[in-house]
Structure 1
């Protein structure tokens, strides 16, 4: 592994992260969980699934984040008639030259918002798998790499089920996190109204964005954050406990959880812990970094039994039980 982060690198990271934060705060009021999820996902090179009712600044957040890192942004509104080619691109016949030309789809951007992803068909959802996992698309047999960095922020509305398609477990597992966003506090809503009234919310962003090269360096810094072997063992124990094993198996856990977290769950816990440590100004991760976003990282990876669903056993409660059962190093 490369040398651990120096004090100078930590200072550089703090300056760049502060610049992103300053621009983000100009457009998005409150929404701490959304902000932290997007930042951690970006630093970890992962994708984020957001579940919330409409109108909670998800599109604004993704667009502002792209501006803050000098990246390109595309929004894709998912509908039942959306086809894979509408996302990845297609080949078009050029009458002037008599040749086929490739038109890249909107997924070719640094930050892509898939709005209401569960409204698209399974065939269209599967078209995103290669892009999310391999960072490339294939059009007419030709592979087209996606720009770097690349992050997908997908949203789904939990209150509408008509005309929606459940995301398969294979695609859910490819999301680094699934964050559930709730309504803002009254004081935050009041601040939104104040900013709209005086024009601040629609004004041009102040401050200089960081470059994409700066962001890639931040991602590399997050990868180099030191995480001790004992914390890695802690993560492995947590993941195995979700499967009914681990050093302290939970009695009767199998009656609530049908499938535990995959190895991707452990990787996500480690990478997000490293990102959170960097965001906190540290060059080493601590157990609290592993626990900080445990619900967002694991809630879409645990598949409950039918009895657990019928008894309304919450996934977050099961995750808390796992973390309470595993000794903290």
Structure 2
């Protein structure tokens, strides 16, 4: 079996330098455990889970695999401190963050032996979390799905590699072994993928939605701010086109309705939601309008990725969707990637010797 020992594999104790990202409504115990069993690092998505649901998901993942896995946390969640203590008690190997965690959060996790790997989209953010003690960073370029920046992965990753002294995991635009080989050549310690893992057999996304993804081309995603006020890469759909055409007032009204739906689903009080909104506004320099619009994200994603409503949901996607045409198992995906990466590197080595 082909393996690559990198700073990432040594840090978290996995066999292959491949990370499955914490996608809301997608990265549950089945997908995470399958990734872990295949030798990669699977990451549970907790932002769309209540505290109790997260505790249950960690236990279920433990029952499915004895391999290391991670949990993605929201640093601005009202119960973030409680969730951190949960990870510590349960012996979760990795804590990842979609947005930069506070220095105190990193310190608490590291004190307990949990590996901290925030996701960043800019060199300055990587430098900040590295100075606070983060063990590694996932660096996502503009090709990635979900919230993204405008800098291409091919420029952002080497810039971060040069700027920090901790392992860098490249994300945004990766789907096969050629990409893994390229990331290693840039100096990264591995790759992280979302859309590619969403389109696997172990992913719980409805089959009809997976088929909708597989039918798309390279030009069939768009970065929009109409979902939640911040840049969000999604599939082009009629709903997204309507959101793009809608006025600000209509968008805010839609978001308020979704906030009420999300509150009922999660059991959060209006007070708790207001506190989270205030934390988001302060921590990420958002306007109140953007905070209110953020209520769109979990419910619109749930409609598509859980309920299968491609007509009424938003489908987050990286640009790689245009080159994906199959639904492998996680085992087939990861082993195929590392074998292809080895072949690519060997081919380059032969060319250099010639």
What TM-score range do you get, normalising by the shorter chain? under 0.3
Higher alpha-carbon Rg: 1
Provide TM-score, normalisation by structure 2. Answer: 0.26
Provide TM-score, normalisation by structure 1. Answer: 0.27
